[in-house]
């Protein structure tokens, strides 16, 4: 099988021709002010018609066309945005959000309490609901004591993460006209951000500056987006100057580019080996310990990721700066001899590096005495079997903070008895109790300490062996300054992104 690092000149040439057709020269698309437009190459096309209730919401956020009531700072603490202030009311199940004055939607209508209520209510009724609202019974209503200045957001149970939830791009506030009676949502011309979405399809999108933006007009005239799934083609666009900003440069291409144009940021995504705790060889904790002891992370980072990743010491990496400070020492189970123990190691092809990681892990595990058979398929063809526990071990690249900027939801999903993504088939009452405790604490240092207690227990189980933390690798030509380098991949082009 050809090595994934082989560079195909024909692919690069084809990708460059594609991009040349997608992007216009700055002079051809600038508005009457003469400012430049930003040419942006993105990895994936919209999958749900740019519905804010889907993962397409992150495109709307990265283009600065749709905004939320709050945003998150680097530590995951909620900060004002379309809401200027927020407080938890005495009943603890309700939060009050004061709505910013002087904001207009791109269709000219004002941001009001009624439009906020309509937007968030539409999200609660969407089918399926935005995943940030999974398991959350949320209602929104005007605050009768605030004369049209605030909304009350209530939940059936006390939820200290309501502000963080409302920071999710999937809960962006759009004009009332965006929401159709059939549940469809059209964000074009209905956001509040510095750029107005004009048009989009599966290959391109166009956004123009919105001069009436409440934060002041953007410094660029607009954004011309091209969706280019082929990583070689995206890298070629940066190399030739066809694109000003390029999303998700592949590791295999980063080293071929001008180093001054490649920027790396730790992201909250961990490449982890999940071990099946329910059946097979790894039902024995001592065998799991033997696998954990056999794994050498540094060669994987060096050989597969070309040192463009961070060696993992826990589930949570450098994208969450507080995690290392709060990490707790753990007790490790003693390993047992495993000579001849047969296991099936599985992963998927959709992330180009994972099959290579599987090769490295197979070699390391076999050196420890395991007899390893690999199972590698496309993700759509392997997910169901992985969730059903059909493999002894599974390599997964997993986002660790999901949409709220907080890792408790990820830990619940992957490691609790009722977790919906529990590939390790782990069920430990002590872990469930630790996660429940963390979930009930307001965001801040106390919650962080509780989260790391849960992490300690998960790692002590050896149900998951974290390998490395991935990085955002972003390309910038230098034609524009102020391009955001965001570990959560929520922001990219902002009002402050300006011609150099």
Residue 133 is predicted with a pLDDT of 87
Q: CA 439 to CA 359: how far, in whole Å?
A: 37
Residue 402 is predicted with a pLDDT of 67
E strand or H helix that includes residue 371 = strand 371-377
Q: What is the CATH architecture of 266-471?
A: Roll (3.10)
Distances (CA, A) of 314 to 58, 59, 429: 27, 30, 21
Pairing verdict, β 371-377 and 342-348:
parallel
Class of domain 9-65+193-244+477-499 as given by CATH = alpha beta
Q: What is the CATH number of domain 70-178?
A: 3.90.76.10
**Smallest Cα–Cα separation from 271: which of 205, 347, 338, 329?**
347
Residue 35 is predicted with a pLDDT of 53
Q: CA 415 to CA 463: how far, in whole Å?
A: 8
What is the DSSP code (8-state) at residue 332?
-
Task: Provide the whole-model pTM.
Answer: 0.81
DSSP 455-478: HHHHHHHTSEEEEEEEEEEEEE-S
Residues near 116 by Cβ (< 8 Å), separated by ≥ 6? 69, 82, 97, 99, 140, 151, 173
Chunked mean pLDDT (size 10), the chain, 500 residues: 37 44 40 68 92 93 98 89 96 96 98 98 91 88 94 94 94 96 92 98 97 98 96 95 94 92 95 98 98 98 95 96 93 97 96 94 98 95 96 95 83 92 97 94 92 98 98 95 93 97
Distances (CA, A) of 152 to 67, 68, 103: 19, 15, 19
* Lookup: tokens for 235: 């890298």
Residue spans per domain, the chain: 9-65+193-244+477-499, 70-178, 266-471
Q: CA 474 to CA 262: how far, in whole Å?
A: 6
Q: How many residues does the chain have?
A: 500
Q: CA 136 to CA 126: how far, in whole Å?
A: 13
Residue 10 is predicted with a pLDDT of 40
Beta bridge partners of 139: 154
The torsion angles phi and psi of 492, rounded to 5 degrees, stand at -150, -70
Residue 330 is predicted with a pLDDT of 94
DSSP 128-171: SPPGGGTT--EEEEE-TTTTTSEEEEEESS--TTHHHHTTSGGG
Q: CA 372 to CA 300: how far, in whole Å?
A: 18
């Amino acid at each position: 099988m050809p090595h994934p690092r082989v560079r195909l000149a024909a692919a690069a040439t084809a990708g460059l021709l594609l991009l040349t057709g997608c992007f216009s020269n700055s002079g051809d698309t600038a508005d009457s002010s003469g400012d430049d437009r930003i040419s942006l190459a993105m990895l994936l096309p919209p999958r749900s018609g740019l519905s804010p209730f889907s993962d397409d919401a992150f495109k709307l956020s990265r283009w600065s066309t749709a905004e939320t009531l709050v945003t998150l700072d680097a530590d995951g603490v909620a900060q004002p945005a379309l809401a200027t202030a927020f407080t938890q009311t005495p009943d603890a199940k309700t939060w009050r959000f004061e709505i910013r004055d002087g904001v207009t939607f791109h269709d000219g209508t004002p941001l009001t309490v009624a439009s906020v209520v309509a937007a968030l209510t539409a999200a609660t009724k969407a089918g399926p609901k935005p995943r940030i609202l999974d398991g959350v019974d949320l209602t929104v209503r005007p605050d009768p004591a605030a004369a049209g200045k605030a909304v009350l957001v209530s939940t059936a149970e006390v939820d200290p993460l309501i502000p963080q939830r409302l920071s999710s791009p999937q809960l962006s506030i759009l004009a009332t006209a965006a929401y159709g009676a059939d549940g469809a949502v059209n964000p074009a011309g209905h956001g509040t951000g510095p750029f107005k979405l004009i048009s989009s399809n599966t290959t391109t999108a166009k956004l123009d500056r919105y001069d009436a933006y409440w934060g002041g007009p953007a410094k660029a005239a607009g954004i011309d987006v091209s969706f280019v799934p082929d990583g070689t083609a995206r890298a070629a666009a940066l190399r030739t100057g066809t694109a000003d900003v390029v999303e998700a440069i592949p590791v295999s291409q980063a080293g071929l580019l001008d180093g001054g144009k490649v920027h790396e940021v730790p992201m909250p995504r961990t490449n982890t080996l999940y071990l099946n705790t329910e059946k097979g060889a790894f039902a024995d904790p001592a065998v799991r310990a033997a696998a954990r002891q056999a794994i050498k992370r540094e060669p994987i980072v060096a050989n597969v990721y070309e040192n463009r990743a961070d060696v993992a010491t826990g589930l949570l990496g450098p994208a969450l700066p507080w995690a290392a400070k709060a990490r707790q020492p753990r007790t490790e189970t003693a390993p047992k001899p495993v000579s001849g123990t047969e296991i099936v190691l599985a992963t998927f092809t959709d992330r180009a590096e994972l099959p290579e990681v599987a090769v490295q892990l197979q070699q390391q595990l076999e050196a420890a005495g395991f007899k390893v058979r690999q199972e590698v398929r496309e993700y759509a063809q392997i997910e169901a079997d992985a969730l059903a526990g059909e493999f002894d071990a599974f390599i997964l690249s997993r986002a660790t903070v999901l949409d709220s900027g907080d890792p408790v939801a990820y830990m619940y999903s992957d490691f609790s008895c009722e977790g919906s993504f529990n590939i390790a088939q782990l069920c430990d009452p002590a872990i469930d109790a630790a996660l429940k405790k963390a979930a009930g604490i307001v965001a801040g240092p106390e919650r962080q300490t509780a989260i790391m207690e849960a992490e300690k227990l998960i790692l002590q189980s050896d149900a998951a062996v974290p390998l490395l933390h991935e990085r955002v690798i972003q390309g910038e030509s230098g034609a524009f300054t102020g391009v955001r380098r965001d570990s959560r991949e929520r922001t990219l082009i902002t009002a402050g992104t300006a011609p150099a």
